[in-house]
Structure formats: C-alpha cells, structure tokens
Amino acid sequence: MTHLVMFEQPGTAPLHRGIVELDIDPAAERYAVLDRRDMKPLMFGVRPTTGVVRFIVPFDYTTNNHLLFLILDDTGSPAYDVAGTDKKKADLVDAKNVGSILY
Amino acid sequence: MPQAVTVYRWDDAGAPQIPNGKPSQILDVLTKCLVDGYGSKAPLGWTRPYYDAGVQAAVFRNNVAAGGSGGFAKFYSNTAADANNTVMRVTHAASMTGISDFFRQGNTQAFTATSGLTRWVLIGTSIGFYLTIDTNLSTLKMTGPGTYGVAMYVGDFYSAVPSDTSRFITMASFWNGAFSAPASEDSLYYMRATGDSAIRTPLKIYDADNFDAFSNYCLWLPFWGNTGGINNIVWQSEPTSPEVLMPAFVWLSSQNILSITTDRLGQIVRDSTVSPLLRGVLPGYGYSLKVGYGNTLWPFSKTISSQQHWLMRSYTAGGYTSAGAFINMEQWNDPFGNV
C-alpha cells in the first residue's frame, strides 16, 4: 500500500540527552533533582514503590556537574528530613534507545 | 509498537452513566474505563494516583510499561461541588506530588456535560483516549445547530522527537489555551466549523528534553484551515467516493513551513530536537478530505482500509456544516516509529 503521507523513520544518528537514574532510600517519600546554579527543578516526584526513577535531562548536564539530588522523608522521626548529594553529572544516552523511563 | 484500541460506550452492559452531568459521574466513567473496567470490558491499564471525593477531583496516569510517558491528567469540579451539569476542569503535568501539586503543568481547560448530555463514548489505548459526551436526542445528527457536545483528547501525542519528555497533553479545546468557562468552540467537535486553527494556542508544551521552557502549540489541520462553517445542503450527504484521511499535526502556533524562528539552542525550528515546528500527530485521528455526513445519525462508524473508524460530530452555531474527523477504533500507530 502506498502511504499518502510518508513519515521518514528515525535514522541511526544518535540524539544525545542526559539521563538520571536514582535508587531512592525506602524511608523517603519524595525526591527532587535541581540545577544547583539557579535551583530550578528538573524533576520533582513521588518515590515509586520500586524506589528506582529514571528520566531524561538536557544534554548539558552530561558535560558539567550542576545537578543536585535531594530525597525527602515526610513521615519519619523527626517528622521530616532531607538528604542529598551534590555536583552530580547525568549519564549520556541516545534518546532513540533510552529503555524504560520511570518516575 | 502499535496500541490496541478499546471502545467504551454508555450503552455497554454494566457501563457507568452520566445522567446529570455531575463531576462524580464523569470521574466514575473515567475511573472505570481507565483503571477498573466494567462488565466484560477490561480497563486501559492507567492508574489513578490521586483521588479526593470531597472535592470531586481525580488524577490519572497513562501506562509507562506500555510505552506511555507517565504524564498526569487531573479532572476536577470547578467549584469542588458535585452539582448537576457543572463545569469540570482538566489539566496535565509531567509529574505530580499531590492532588494539587504540579510539576511542569500545562494549560487548564474546561468542559461541561450540560443538561441532556448523557451519551458518553471513550475510545482509547494504554497511552491516550478520546472522550466525547453527546446529547440524548434520539435523532442526533453528525452536524447541526444547538447540539453542543464534549470532545477531548487526553494522553500522549505521537512525538516526532524520540523520548519526548513533554508529550502528555489534555486538550478539551483546540481553540483556547487556559480557560474556565467553556464556550461552544471549546470542543474538538468545533474543528470542522472553524477557520485556520494554526493561529490558536491550545497547548502549552515544555521542551522535549525536560528543560524548563515551553512553547505554544496548536492542532493544525492544513486542509481544513479557512474552510470553516460554510453552510450548504450539499454537506448533508455522505461522500460516496473513497475516504482520504490526513493526520492532525501538533504544530508550533502561528508558524508556517517557512518559519525561521529558532529554538532555545539556536536551531531553526524546522530541525529542532527540543521544540520543533512539527512536534507530532494526534494518535488515531484522521480528518477526511471528503467531508459531509450532515444528515447522518450519530453514532456512526465505517470501515476504512479494513479498520473500523468512529466519526466525530461537528458542532456549529447555525445551519449545516460538515463532519469528517475519524478515530481509529482498532489500532493506533506511531508514524514516527518512536513508541
């Protein structure tokens, strides 16, 4: 069948992005990933039951160390707490072959 | 990976009902179709991470394991009350941490199942769905005056950008962006009766790489632009020649193919990988170059290229216009090969 509208399929040239994967402590309920320079969030979410989140960030974050990861405990003792790790870099990924996005 | 389509209708055995246009009734229909199933029908495999019966609000998420983006759609009563035929709001976000806590939120639109709008149909997959609610008039036609209906799309569009982080939308109107009082044009049904949709800004879509910037997008149907509500008895008939269905483009608002606008990285939008001119297409949707069907009674479906297609109604304020937008009732395919 001839397709009236033809969409060229993606070629093999990679589309570079950053990817962040976090394995979040079971005591945490929420997590946030921020750009440490301006504190703008790149992701803010609820810890999934698996504890693992995996999502795309802009390519820039694969070449610098501008990421700040935070996990938030909303139900512990004391009633709230935060832990984090700073100056992180995203992994390089081809957006055409990312695998599962989880968050 | 093609998505299998399920069609849910008000007249299915065991189907939930919307007799009074109450938010609780609409949320019940959504919950049963998306999450729980009813009668002999399995649900679409979505989840409902947040629900508050006290304010008539529910949040739904599409199925990541089945190729969905995991975006969030929130439906809620505008006044928090469970009143008859009251205004509902709908919005979307990339993530949510509470029933009213949004991350990368899009526009908030509105719709109302006004008095008499009881016949709902939901056609969807694990990644997106069309919801329509039509009047119970027994002789409801595909077009005609005074027969306003609800028609929206919720879920992922098929993006031209691989792994687009911002492809989840809620579109109760292709006409207005954010609004709280739905008018007659705020329905996908108005698509056929209007002029050029490319100048509209219904969709606020963040960059495809999860950067904190957004662009306004429209739903552009090039062959229908500027051929809007022309009333002529000719359009009461059904076309007898073979159908030709075109995709509806998620397109950068107010731009044409000669746009030299650049994205945030300095790339011309033609070739942008973060906010391209052609961002994607609406799943399962095809608009015909053979419009008509004015006197055809709703509901109506027809076989096109061996697959059943549902005809969307076309609302107009007066006289006959024409219908011709179809939803594939069997299988949706990503033309870009990304999902």
Task: Give the ipTM of the model, two decimals please.
Answer: 0.94
Does A79 score more than 90 pLDDT? no
Q: What are the tens digits of pLDDT across the range B285-302?
A: 999 999 999 999 999 999
Q: How confident is the model at residue B318 (pLDDT cuts 50, 70, 90)?
A: low
The lowest-confidence range among B155-159, B184-188, B262-266, B272-276 is: B184-188
Q: Considering only CA atoms, which of B200, B288, B291, B209 is closest in space to residue B250?
A: B200
Q: What are the tens digits of pLDDT across the range B79-116?
A: 999 999 999 999 999 999 999 999 999 999 999 999 99
Q: Considering only CA atoms, which of B59, B55, B99, B57 is closest in space to residue B80?
A: B55
pTM for this one?
0.96
Does B12 score more than 90 pLDDT? yes
Q: How confident is the model at residue B319 (pLDDT cuts 50, 70, 90)?
A: low
Closest approach of A56 to chain B, Cα-based (Å): 6
Burial class of residue A102 in the structure, from the number of CB atoms within 10 Å of its CB (0-12 exposed, 13-18 middle, 19+ buried): middle
pLDDT mean over B119-131: 98
Q: How confident is the model at residue B146 (pLDDT cuts 50, 70, 90)?
A: low
pLDDT mean over B170-180: 94
Q: What are the tens digits of pLDDT across the range A12-29?
A: 899 999 999 999 999 999
The beta strands (E) that lie in B71-149 are given as 72-77, 87-98, 101-105, 109-112, 117-124, 128-135, 143-145
% of chain B beyond a pLDDT of 90 = 84
% of chain B beyond a pLDDT of 70 = 97
The answer to whether the CB atoms of B65 and A98 lie below 8 A apart is no
Task: Inform me whether the C-beta atom of residue B303 falls under 8 Å from chain A C-beta atoms.
Answer: no
User: Measured between alpha carbons, how far is A31 from B238 in angstroms, rounded to an integer?
Assistant: 55
User: Measured between alpha carbons, how far is B61 from B296 in angstroms, rounded to an integer?
Assistant: 35
Smallest Cβ–Cβ distance between B211 and the set A44, A45, A58 belongs to A58
Task: Inform me whether the C-beta atom of residue B64 falls under 8 Å from chain A C-beta atoms.
Answer: yes
Bridge partners, residue B107, by sequence: none
Q: What are the tens digits of pLDDT across the range B15-66?
A: 999 999 999 999 999 999 999 999 999 999 999 999 999 999 999 999 999 9
% of chain A beyond a pLDDT of 70 = 95
Q: Which residue of B has its CA nearest to A45?
A: B97
Does A41 score more than 60 pLDDT? yes
Does A1 score more than 60 pLDDT? no
Q: What are the tens digits of pLDDT across the range B185-204?
A: 889 998 887 767 888 999 99
**Does B179 or A9 have the greater pLDDT score?**
B179
A-chain CB neighbours of B64 within 8 Å are 100-102
Q: What is the pLDDT of residue B228?
A: 66
Q: What is the pLDDT of residue B192?
A: 81
A-B contacts (CB, under 8 Å): 73
User: Measured between alpha carbons, how far is B181 from B276 in angstroms, rounded to an integer?
Assistant: 31
Q: How confident is the model at residue B8 (pLDDT cuts 50, 70, 90)?
A: very high
Does B1 score more than 80 pLDDT? no
Smallest Cβ–Cβ distance between B64 and the set A41, A56, A101 belongs to A101
Q: Which residue of B has its CA nearest to A74?
A: B97
Q: Which of A7, A19, A59 to mutate to test the interface with B (most CBs of B within 10 A)?
A: A7
User: Measured between alpha carbons, how far is B180 from B211 in angstroms, rounded to an integer?
Assistant: 28
